Amino acid sequence: MTLEKDPLNLIIAGVGGQGNILASQIVATAGIKEGLYVTVGETYGASQRGGPVMSHIRFSAQAQCGPLIPEGEADIIVGLEPIEALRIIADFGNSRTRVIVSPRPIYPIWVLSGQAKYPPVEEVLQKLGELVAEVRVVKVIQEGETGLAVNVVIVGALAGSGMLPIALQNFEDSIREIFAPKDLDLNLKTFRKGVELTGRKAVATTLVKARRRQ
């Protein structure tokens, strides 16, 4: 098996408590089921308590990669939170990077305390759009629907987008392996909802066209 780009580098960015580690585990296990070498580098520990959390996931058909993505070499960025997606572009993004992002903000402590402003989400998405090739905004939670886990919906959206060379079946098998039987049905349902959001029949997806860089 060969990859169009090897290694293929994915970052999942979010905030402590959003289930970033679980999301990366589902995606990486699916990659292994696809027959790839997968390396996941995670930053947590002290940062678990409301700090930014980032997972680096690297796929290769050739060899095990190092756990950290080199600067500017993220091919895909999945943002569980809009400013966290934008925050990592300076270090890891490039003009060919593709982004899938949940627009629901989680306010940092300095914003809550009124000492810093959280910019309007549309502007954050606009800035992202100016820096990368493609931004897909996935509205994870509709009004009155709070039971869905953002991380699993977004993994579904990533699977549905076709950005990764991994079959949907391998994602579902990965979820079956990771979740306890009592949580399996809800999570499969949640995952499939995410797939619908970016899959071919997607209706609720907003596409922010990239401005072509000069």
Residue 127 binds to other proteins (criterion: CB under 8 A): yes
Mutual angle of helices 20-33 and 168-178, in 10-degree steps: 120
Binding span for other proteins by CB under 8 A among 116-124, 162-170, 184-192, 203-211: 116-124
**Contact of 55 with 47, CB cutoff 8 Å:** no
Residue 49 binds to other proteins (criterion: CB under 8 A): yes
Residue 115 binds to other proteins (criterion: CB under 8 A): yes
- Among 5, 110, 162, 189, which residue sits at the site for other proteins (rule: CB under 8 A)? 110
Binding span for other proteins by CB under 8 A among 27-35, 154-162, 163-171, 184-192: 27-35
- 53 residue type, one letter: V
Sign of CA dihedral 76, 19, 58, 33: negative
- Among 11, 12, 28, 137, which residue sits at the site for other proteins (rule: CB under 8 A)? 28
Taking the complex as a whole, how short is the minimal distance between the CB of residue 192 and other proteins, in angstroms?
22
**Contact of 15 with 109, CB cutoff 8 Å:** no
What b/e sequence results for 73-104 when a residue is b if at least 16 CB atoms lie within 10 Å of its CB, and e otherwise? bbbbbbbbbbbbbbbbbeebbeeebbbbbbbe
Residues that bind other proteins in the complex, under the rule CB under 8 A: 15-17, 24-25, 28-29, 32, 37-52, 63-68, 70-72, 83-84, 86-87, 89-90, 93-95, 107-119, 123-124, 127, 130-131, 146, 177
